[in-house]
Amino acid sequence: MEKELSSVVKVRFSDCDPIGHLNNVKYLEYMLNAREDHVEKGYGFTYEEYTRKTACTWITVQNEIAYLKEVRYNAKVIITSKTIEIGDRLSKVEIIMKSEDGKTIHSVLWLTVIYFDLKTRKSLPHPEDTKKLLTRFLTELPEKDFQSRVAALRKLNKSAVKQ
């Protein structure tokens, strides 16, 4: 079973700024759209189906993003996502955008979400079956905080340039 899911996306001209770089807001859009596709492909459900069935969903409570290397229009990028933390109510996902050859990391996003009941408008603990499913995709990272992770990825980019 693949814990880190991926997809290839072409960067569109209309999503870029006047100098041809992907607009910062569009990084989020591309990454979140890819994550939605990854959940459907890997976890076996869409957010819409899950919400309709359970009346619960995940609400984003924090985004941490670092832009490491610009992306130009018409570039193809690989977007990967993986679950990196699961708690009773909170979960954390890492989404990375990298070059098509995988050698350059363009951006990293840590997305923290809370499990939320739409009827009561309150957070709830993850149901046991949902937590079990998420745990199957849990990936441990050597870095435990976002700044350390960004520093490690910057170092990877620098070592790729030297090669």
CATH code assigned at 19: 3.10.129.10
Q: What is the pLDDT of residues 81-138, one digit of tens each?
A: 999 999 999 999 999 999 999 999 999 999 999 999 999 999 999 999 999 999 999 9
- pLDDT for res 163: 64
Percent above pLDDT 70 for the chain: 98
pLDDT digits (tens, 9 = 90+) for 30-86: 999 999 999 999 999 999 999 999 999 999 999 999 999 999 999 999 999 999 999
Report the alpha-carbon distance of residue 35 to residue 118 in Å, rounded: 21
Cβ neighbors of 24 (< 8 A, separation 6 or more) are 67
Domain count, the chain: 1
63 contacts 111 by C-beta, under 8 angstroms: yes
pTM value? 0.94
Q: Where are the beta strands (DSSP E) in the chain?
A: 5-10, 56-67, 76-86, 90-99, 105-117, 122-123
In the predicted structure, residue 151 carries a pLDDT above the cut 80: yes
The amino acid at residue 80 is T
User: How far is 12 from 77, CA to CA, in rounded Å?
Assistant: 11
Domain that holds residue 84: 5-162
